[in-house]
Amino acid sequence: MTLTGQFYDLDDGESITSAVRRSEGNEIAFDLTHSDGYSYTVALKRLQGTLFKGTAMSQPGGEVAELSCRVYEDSSEGITLIVGSGWRYPGSTQNYRWQVELQSE
């Protein structure tokens, strides 16, 4: 299933042109180009219930951030909401909150 949506960071929407849900919804992956000049490849896996963990790899540079989030789905409306509680780079104490809204085409 192909999905599109928005990545929200400080109220600025960033386009997500391709996203994929695999393994019966237990894995979600997408690419986005952020206004900070970097592109990110995000890969998430379900840990338990709505809790997902994963990584975001930046290009250029190849830095990998560790992610944690909750994923909420409304299948009747075709909407997936990802509420990110963690976006952390190794060795950094800074944490970024983030949000993604995906919609079925």
Residues with Cβ within 8 Å of 69's Cβ and at least 6 positions away in sequence, in order, are: 44, 51, 52, 53, 54, 82, 83, 84, 85, 86, 98
Q: Which two tokens stand for residue 72?
A: 């909420």
Residue 25 in 3-state DSSP?
helix
**Cα separation of 50 and 70, whole Å?**
5
Looking at residue 15, what is its pLDDT? 82
Owning domain of residue 28: 2-104
- What is the domain count for the chain? 1
Q: Tell which residue, 81, 53, 80, has the closest CA to residue 67.
A: 53
- Residue 41 β-bridge partners: 31, 57
Tens-place pLDDT, residues 18-77:
899 999 989 999 998 888 888 999 999 999 999 999 999 999 989 999 999 999 999 899
Tens-place pLDDT, residues 92-103:
999 988 899 998
Tens-place pLDDT, residues 8-32:
655 667 888 789 999 998 999 999 8
Higher pLDDT, 6 or 5: 5
Looking at residue 10, what is its pLDDT? 56
At 71, which CATH number? 2.40.160.90
C-beta neighbour count of 2 within 10 angstroms: 10
Looking at residue 46, what is its pLDDT? 98
